[in-house]
Every structure is written in C-alpha cells, then in structure tokens.
Structure 1
Amino acid sequence: MGFMESMLAMLQTLQGWPAYLLLFGLLLGSGFGLPVNEDILLLVAAALTLRGVMEPVPLVAVAWCGVLCADGLIFHWGRRFGTQLLRHKLASRALPAARLQSMERAVQRWGPGFIFVVRFVPGLRTALLFAAGSMKIPYRHLFVFDGAAAVVELPLLVWGVRYVGGRWEEIVAALQHWQGWLLPALAAAVIAAAAAVWWRRRSRSPR
C-alpha cells in the first residue's frame, strides 16, 4: 500500500478534529513535495461528511487554509529558487526547463488573473504555480486569486459529493483510473481553443 492509500485509510478511521488535522497536514505536506493527490484527497474528505467524520462547513474552512498554504509554498519555491531548483536531478524530471518556460510565457501573457484558472487545472497546477512564482508575481495576487478560486471550488466539490451520495466511491475510482488521460485531454482542449482563437483573429484581419 502506497503513502497516499495509507493516509486515505487512516483518514477514514478518524473522527472530528484529528481528521481535520490530518487533512490539513496532508494538504500542507503536498506543498513540501509529499506524494499526495490533492483532488482525490479532497473528494474522499468530502465523502466522509456523509459518514459524520467531518462536517461540511468546517471541512471547507480547513481545506481552504490547507490548499492556500500548499499553493503558497509551491509559489514561494518558484519565487525563491526559480530555474535554479531545476538543476536538481529529481526536480528537472518533475518539471523540465522547457515546460517551465512555456508556463512562464502563459503567466506573462494572461497576468495574475491566470492564477484563478490554475486552481481548476489538476495535473498542471503545481507547474503553473511554480512558474507564477518564478515570474515574481506579488504574493498578494496569489492569495487574492487563488483564494477566490478555492472559495468557488471547495464548496462545489463538497456539496457536489454530498449530492451524489453513495456514488462517491465510483467517482473516486473513476478519477484514479482515468487521471492519466485527464492531462492529455485537457492539453488537447487548450490547444484546440487556442487554435480556434488564432484562426478567428486571422480570418478577421485585413488582407
């Protein structure tokens, strides 16, 4: 059993504040590089409100603090070390320099508001936050835009899971099974959207 699976199993055995504390610790640890899938962790935590392990409103509050701290750490590493960190062998494998540069160009083009979108991009979130930090974007922009996005995302996630009720395990299993396809599909959608915008501008430009 891997680290993530062990932590999820432990989370389901707890009750009340120890569960909140473990959730916050795992979210915070993901900012330090722990092998934690934030999206699956939050889905499981939301599902546990159906069992009375945690309550929805406190869960949203704890999760909001946790994701902001984790995102803030990743942003800080990018701001503090930037491309220097990529000289490390493990870091360069996780985030190649060419990929970081493409992320930096995206952040530079769209500005700090791009951070709001980052919260809804699983798989690319860490790289995008690191790139935003390396661009020396002020910390206040991170907390304003990322915090606002989390205010939207977390209640939707928690009450969405509560709405589907007993089917939450099927959703988590499907996410774990298909997560390897989510990033390519998302990348294809972004490329398609960018191509559509480019084609529209090109067709409207005078010849």
Structure 2
Amino acid sequence: MSGGPLPWLLTHGSAALLFAALVAGGVGVPIPEDLVLLATGILAHQGVLPLPLALGLALAGVLCGDLALFLTARRLGPKLYEHRRLRGLLPPERRERLAKLYSRHGGWVVFGGRFLSVLRGAVFAMAAVQGMPLRRFLLWDVLALCVSVPVVVGLGYVFSHSVDRVAHGLGRVEHGLAIAAALGLVLLVTVRALRARREARPPEGAESHGRQAPPVH
C-alpha cells in the first residue's frame, strides 16, 4: 500500500477521527475527502465499523463540513473573494458566469459542485455570498451527498483488497459523476428554455384574430 493519508487513516481509524477529518476537509484543511470516505468503507469491510454506522458517519461528517464552510462564507460576504485561494479559483469573469447560473439554477449548481473536488469549496462559498437560503443549500447538498457518499464508501467496502487501485480510480469515478451532473443541468436548462418559449408563443389564430381587416373603399 502506498504512503499518504489513506494508510494512516486505516491504521488509526476510528469513528471520531473519520468524522473530524471529514469536517476539517470541508472547511479547507488539505485532507482529501474522497480518501477519508474510501477509508471509511474499508474499515467497515474490516469490521471496525458497522456499514450503516459508516454511511451515517460519512454523511454527517461531510454535511457538517459543508455547513461550516457555508456559514463562514456567509458571514464574511464578498470580501471572501479576496482570499488567495479563491482569487485563483474564482477570477472576476468566472464569478460573473457563476452568478448568472446561481440566479437561474442555484440549487443545481450546488448539486453539481458536490462532484467537482477542485471547485467544490468555491462553489459552496459563492452560494453563501450570493445569498442562497441555508435551507435550500442544505436540501441540494444532501441530495448530492446521497449519491456521492454511498458510491465512494461502497467502493472502499467492496474493493478493500485492492486499495491502491481504487484510490487511483477515484478520479475517474468523480469525473463520471461530474459529467452526469453536468448533463442533468444542461437537460434541465434546455427543458425550461423550451417550456418558456412555448408559453411565450401566442396561441394559434390569436395573432390573425387580433388583426383588423383593412378598410374597404
């Protein structure tokens, strides 16, 4: 097994440690969330944790980390964009594009951001700065967590005998989930655009009915 945080988590793993690692990773500590979830599944397979407890622990830990990040970003407001990490991830032009997406499809942006490890924190922080209600953020984040957490924990549980191979394949899994979320967002936008165009179109015959006949000389 290669070095890194995964072997350490498997050696010292406990419910409290895994939970603390997930919360810390959510607020910006450089602890890869997916590796912690993978370790949770492996420890469940080894009998250190019951699988239902492992899943519940993983969901609660990630959600608490996301919630802490959201509340911190909401308290800091727009000055959060001056942070050195967010300046690189969210330059003005990218913030403008994201702001337009939030105004139209804020919930789906949060849902898709859950599957983008590089932009996840920035997407959640911007949701808070853009004024998304906490209840709405939690709804969409929980929906995404119900997909991502069982997948990664399940991979650790099922393939615990080949940890390194699964760890290297996590990027592909995350990439596939991100593509699926993006396709869902594109489909939603397309359906809404077609529906709006259909509703804006006048009923057949209304246009000709509204025209006045030319005067007869």
TM-score tier (shorter): 0.7 to 0.9
Matched, 1:49 2:44: yes
Give the counterpart of 2:80 among 85, 99, 103.
85
Distance 1:45 1:137 in 2: 31
Q: Deviations over 1:9-49 (max 9, x none)?
A: 3321135xxx1111111111123320122122212321222
Q: Provide the rounded CA distance (Å) in 2 between the counterparts of 1:7 and 1:110.
A: 36
Q: Do residues 128 (structure 1) and 126 (structure 2) align?
A: no
User: Which amino acid is the alignment partner of residue 10 of structure 1?
Assistant: W
The residue identity in structure 2 corresponding to 1:158 is V
Matches for 1:50-65 after TM superposition, within 5 Å: 50-65=45-60
Q: Find 2:93's aligned residue among 93, 98, 114.
A: 98
RMSD of aligned alpha carbons: 3.4
Matches within 5 A, 1:17-166: 19-166=14-161
Distance 2:86 2:110 in 1: 22
**Corresponding letter in the other structure for 2:28:** G
- Structure 2 Cα separation of the partners of residues 77 and 99 of structure 1: 21
Deviations 1:31-87 (A, max 9, x none): 332012212221232122222232211111111111111111222233222331222
CA distance in 2, matches of 1:7, 1:164: 18
| 1:49 to 1:118, Cα distance in 2 relative to 1, 3 A | same
Q: Check 1:111–1:46 CA distance in 2 against 1; reply closer, same or farther (3 A cut).
A: same
Shift of residue 182, structure 1, vs aligned partner: 4.6
Q: Go from structure 1 to structure 2 and tell me whether the alpha carbon gap of 1:34 and 1:44 turns closer, same or farther (over 3 Å shift).
A: same
Give the total of aligned pairs.
190
Report if aligned partners of 1:83, 1:97 keep a CA contact under 8 Å in 2. Answer: no
Moved over 4 A (4+): none
Task: Provide structure 2 residue ranges, at least 5 long, that are not aligned to the other structure.
Answer: 202-217
Contact 2:106 2:127 in 1 (8 A): no
Unaligned residue ranges in structure 1 (runs of 5+) = none
CA contact (8 A) 1:78 1:134 kept: yes
1:186-197 aligned within 5 A: none
Moved more, 62-71 or 158-167: 158-167
Identical residues among aligned pairs (%): 28
- Distance in 2 (CA, whole Å) between partners of 1:64 and 1:169 is 23
Change in 2 beyond 3 A, CA 1:53/1:172: same
Larger radius of gyration: 2
Instruction: Assess if the C-alpha contact under 8 Å between 1:44 and 1:172 holds in 2.
Output: no
Partner of 2:8: 10
The letter for the 1-side match of 2:27 is F
